[in-house]
């Protein structure tokens, strides 16, 4: 495997992660609005599996800072 192949694999992995995070974020907003935190958490885990559970903390931090406004006064 050449360096170019390795670079392509790394770029593909980053792209998959970015796309998965975007999809989970979109669904997270919709699910929390519709079902509340607890049921949304279950639905997201069922929909995205390990990908969701591996990134759950990052997703909730993003949600708290960017969407819910709970941390608006934190700089």
With 70 as the cut, is the pLDDT of residue 65 above it?
yes
Whether residue 74 lies inside any domain: the answer is no
Domain count, the chain: 1
Q: Which residues of 48-62 are buried (b: 16+ CB within 10 A; e: fewer)?
A: beebbeebbeebeeb
pTM for this one?
Answer: 0.80
pLDDT in tens, 11-40: 999 999 999 999 999 999 999 999 999 999
Please report whether residue 25 resides in a domain: yes
pLDDT, residue 31, reads 96
Residue 75 located in a structural domain: no
Tell whether 56 is covered by a domain: yes
Cα dihedral 57, 62, 65, 70 sign: negative
Average pLDDT over the chain, rounded to whole?
Answer: 89
CA dihedral 60, 71, 66, 47 (to 10 degrees): 20
Instruction: Classify residue 42: in a domain, yes or no.
Output: yes
């Amino acid at each position: 495997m050449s360096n170019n192949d390795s670079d392509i694999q790394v770029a593909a992995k980053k792209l998959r992660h970015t796309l998965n995070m975007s999809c989970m974020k979109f669904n997270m907003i919709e699910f929390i609005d519709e079902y509340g935190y607890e049921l949304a958490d279950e639905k997201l885990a069922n929909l995205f599996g390990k990908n969701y559970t591996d990134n759950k903390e990052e997703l909730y931090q993003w949600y708290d800072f960017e969407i819910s406004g709970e941390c608006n006064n934190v700089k």
